Chains A and B, each alone.
Chain A
Amino acid sequence: VRRLLLAALLLPWAAPARALEWVPIGGITALGGLHTFDGQSGNFSGNVDAAWAPAARLDDRWALLPSARAVYQGTRQLNDVLGTATVAQQSAEARVGVRAVYGDPASRWRFKPTFAYDVELLKETASENWGQGLFDQRRLTVGGEVELLTDEPHSIRAGAGWFTVDYPNYTSLESQAALQFQGQSLARELVGDKVLDRQGWQFSLSGDAALGRRLVVEGKAAVVWSDFPRQPVVDEGGQFETQERQDVMTDVALSIRMPHEWNADLRALGAVEFGLTANTSNQNGYDATRGQFLPGFYDYAQWRAVPSATVIIGPVRRPVTATLRVGWKLRQYDRRPPQDATGAYGSGSLSSTEWSTGLSLSYPMAKRLSLIFDLERASASSNQQFQAFYQYSYETTTALAGVRWDW
């Protein structure tokens, strides 16, 4: 029976096997290194990122791209949430996805339905166990993208998708108290339990084009509308309303790249990226220790600019590349007042600025195999002086070295 079952399962795959052409693509990056945060050092650890995708050409119009990705990060990097106090943080991610690509060869249009399921695990201290992290999350995304080929390789893309994210280990303490100590008035009415769980829609628009003969411009915009069905909005008195939290996060980026060639073995790429990330939310904050209502607590805008210069030395297929980048980020909470060292609220709006520098080097060792060196340093400052919970001002460095293998 088992053999018959197996044969039945394999039959649909066997039928189109002749027409199907598949090409495995993927890569693996393994890096080891150190992360320091305000003088605290994590242990020597490593980061591994492996992706594998057996791309299949079903016919001239259809291609299918199932993919699997696994990431382990033992060394924190600048794109993490750095103001937390855990240099020993480790994270792991497993993602599977399927992306179909439909396009008539005679048409400029491409249609790409997508599906992805992603699990992220986070160990914030060495004593935690995998799978029990407070911020472990599971994400399901279903959507699609339409691409209009303008002047290859340039195109314009628009996407839309529905998602749901849940944090299996996160339940608000207040809701637990409501259950555990019922009758003792420890919880507010309408308290939510899985307050971080969210679902919603995501939209994106992106494109790139040549700007004259020497410049390439690329633009991206993404809007994520999130509904938190179990997180009620906090009112002026610190109590819950029946309305649930809703956020709209917008991320816009524009980058300009300018390649330059001195000779066959020495080329350069100058680039600069400007970006804005903004969040608006109907949720408010409430400081319960002094009855202070904080409307628009979650609204923020973050501006960024990242100029970079890359030097490319050697043959086109296997060059040595060295990139130097400088990053600037300004995060501003227009409606959140800054606090002094004890937590007293001042006037104005909370802001923080981060300057960063990064140096990356890729050195080809063999076909598809490269040595990678990466050094990042960031310095952040803020007018928020109360930093008992989250550190807004810090110095941090990450140094990584390892190999990258593509196939």
Chain B
Amino acid sequence: MSDAGRLCNKNVVDGGGGPVKLMKMRRVILIVLLAASAISADAAVLREAEGLVQVRPEGSDRWQPAGKLPRTLASGDSLRTGFRARAAVALAAGGLLETGGNTQVSIDEAPRGGVVVTLLFGTARLSVRALGARLFELRAPTATAQARSASAAWRTTVGGGGSAVFEAEEGLLGLEDSRGGALRLGAGERAEADLAGLHEPTIVPAPERARRDDFAERMRRELTLDSEIDAAQRLVADEARREEYELGHVLTDASGGLVRAEQYVVRLSPTSFEFVALNGSRGGGLSWYSWTGVFDLPLPRNLAPVFAVLPGSAGAPAPWTLTGYTSVISNGIDSLVASASGGHQVNVNGSADPTEAVSVLYDPATDGFANVAGQAVYQVLFDRYGLYSDGALKYGWTGTNLQSYADRIPATTNDPLTGAALSSPLPGVTTNTTFPDAGSVTQTVLSSYSDGTSISVTNSAVPFGGGVATRASFGGATSGSAWQSGLLQSTLQQSATATEFGGRSIRVLLSPRILVETGGLP
């Protein structure tokens, strides 16, 4: 409770009832006794002190403890109180000055036995009876209050900037501000004064009401402090959500739905790793794309140099040779699996087949496409390859130390990877790549098989916020490095369906980079 509140509460007790009357009577007796004992040459007598109460004599700049009471105060002496302290001073004019804690006053004699109390800060209560014609005045930094009736009592609080609040409890007061403004304050009225002058008087709330308002105000402050605890937690929670977005864990797909996504690498063995792109959508279960690569030599812990040579190596063969891989796109029920083995590095720019020559090579570290025309470029060719839809072989080939895919032998009666005999010869296949919508980056790769089945894979570039990127944002490119660069600025939504899926489809959102690196994009 504030010091002002303590004085206020004292007044609450004084407000009515038996004990209150008793206290009023005590106050009157005290005033009379103090007035009788006052020495005319002195301004006042310090009668009561609780807590830290100090006195500074007129002309001195040192504060002294109040010492033994009663203590006479001369005109011009100052008095100050510490936190929660209080003091009562009998004034020469027959009045009583009571101060709260954190208060500083000085007391001066006035002509004809009057007294002037200067309140620099804090809270003081002044009361006087049988004043007669004597001056009884309190000066605050921004206004002055004088008793204008024989009996008067009021409380004054000086706060920040010298602003003052006057509350008249009894009698009549005359207030005057530093700008010449004046008003009269009756019992039960309150007026504020600041650098701008006096404000309109208002009714002092009843003590009970004041006490309640004070409590409510303190509790409002506590409520505000309580919410500050949450503020720091909110910062942490917001950051957690922001991170999830920054990492691409929450994406918006081509149709505007939210999709959860995670991409990571699993080290399966010293010579292999698996890249996984997982998706989860509400009510849709999990779908994923994975690419597992097996190499001829143990791989370093830091896989960055391994990724760097996945698209190929210019000038010299890569230190690690990808001997086999398996890529899977699945919704947990259906799957398209492409698997290859017998990988070996071939200088494709030195082969006899000019259609396999490479003029630009993708660099995963910079996302740049380096001009390698005329240079030796080593890429991995596989001797065995198979494409499976829900486990059924759809297409494949075999070869022996292939130096060009022109030499591969299409699989017809045996599984190219396991060599197992097929129940029926593989059908022929025709593949068409189209962009069905002239305005958007949506590519459809349709493989039609002679047995009437088909596999359709649709690739869409999804920009930030969902939807499908415009062809214009790709500069109209539909192939080559410009096309792949455009894709790298987006998220790739790959949707696949096949006759074997029975009407279901697989949809995965992932970074297109892994497909650019591994040649998974047409």
Contacts and interface: CB of A to CB of B under 8 A. Distances in A.
Interface in A269-285: 277, 279, 285
Nearest to B486: A342
Most chain B CB neighbours (cut-off 10 Å) among A176, A204, A289, A316: A289
Contact of B258 (A67, A125, A173, A198): A125
B257 A23 contact: no
A388 B215 contact: no
Interface residues of A, number: 113
B329 to A, nearest CB: 13
Contact of B303 (A105, A180, A237, A259): A237
Nearest to A333: B246
Nearest to B272: A185
A23 B304 contact: no
Given A97-B226, A105-B6, A289-B513, A390 B246 contact: yes
A12 interface: no
A371 interface: no
A176 B242 contact: no
Interface in A129-152: 132, 134-135, 137, 139, 141, 143, 145, 149, 151-152
A210 B268 contact: no
A238 interface: yes
Nearest to A57: B215
A235 B303 CA distance: 12
B420 interface: no
Interface stretch (B17-25, B40-48, B73-81, B229-237): B229-237
Interface in B198-232: 199, 212, 215-216, 218-223, 225-232
Interface string A363-399: 0000000000000000000000011111100000000
A216 B265 CA distance: 55
Contacts of B197: 263-264
A236 B302 contact: yes
Interface stretch (B124-132, B363-371, B411-419, B496-504): B363-371
Nearest to B492: A388
B480 interface: no
A174 B232 CA distance: 30
A264 B302 contact: no
A236 B267 CA distance: 12
Contacts of B261: 173
Contact of B216 (A25, A132, A222, A293): A25
A259 B163 CA distance: 12
A59 interface: no
B190 interface: no
Interface in A230-252: 235-239, 247, 249, 251
B118 interface: no
A97 B219 CA distance: 13
A298 B302 contact: no
Interface in B79-105: 83-84, 102
A132 to B, nearest CB: 7
Given A163-B233, A180-B332, A23 B216 contact: yes
Nearest to A55: B219
A95 interface: yes
B262 interface: yes
A86 to B, nearest CB: 8
A134 B252 CA distance: 14
A238 B223 contact: no
B215 A21 contact: yes
Interface stretch (A116-124, A320-328, A354-362): A116-124
Contacts of B229: 114, 116, 141, 143, 159, 161, 202, 204
Interface in B244-260: 244-248, 250-252, 256-258, 260
A191 B226 CA distance: 37
Contact of A342 (B237, B248, B252, B489): B489
A149 B218 CA distance: 13
Interface string B134-164: 0000000000000000000000000011100
A288 B263 contact: yes
A256 interface: no
Given A290-B364, A343-B367, A388-B489, A174 B264 contact: yes
Contacts of B66: none
Interface stretch (A2-10, A28-36, A77-85, A305-313): A77-85
A108 B85 CA distance: 11
Interface stretch (B388-396, B447-455, B463-471): B463-471
Contacts of B485: 342
Contacts of B1: 105
B84 A173 contact: no
Given A55-B215, A83-B242, A291-B303, A286 B160 contact: no
A173 B280 contact: yes
Interface in A312-346: 316, 340-345
A165 B194 CA distance: 49
Given A57-B215, A143-B229, A165-B233, A389 B464 contact: yes
B219 A53 contact: yes
B274 A185 contact: yes
Contact of B278 (A81, A177, A389): A177
Contacts of B212: 21, 23
Contacts of A23: 212, 215-216, 219
A236 B278 contact: no
Contacts of B2: 152-153
B307 interface: yes
B379 to A, nearest CB: 18
Most chain A CB neighbours (cut-off 10 Å) among B223, B304, B488: B223
A239 B258 CA distance: 27
Given A63-B218, A251-B232, 20 more contacts: A25-B220, A25-B223, A55-B222, A120-B237, A128-B282, A132-B282, A134-B250, A139-B237, A152-B3, A185-B292, A196-B240, A198-B240, A202-B233, A239-B267, A249-B236, A264-B197, A290-B307, A291-B303, A293-B304, A344-B367
23 contacts: A40-B465, A57-B215, A63-B219, A67-B223, A84-B242, A85-B466, A114-B226, A152-B2, A173-B262, A186-B274, A186-B276, A204-B228, A222-B228, A238-B265, A249-B239, A261-B161, A263-B197, A264-B199, A290-B365, A291-B306, A343-B489, A388-B463, A389-B246
Q: Which 5 A-B pairs have the closest CB atoms?
A: A291-B303, A55-B219, A342-B488, A85-B465, A344-B367
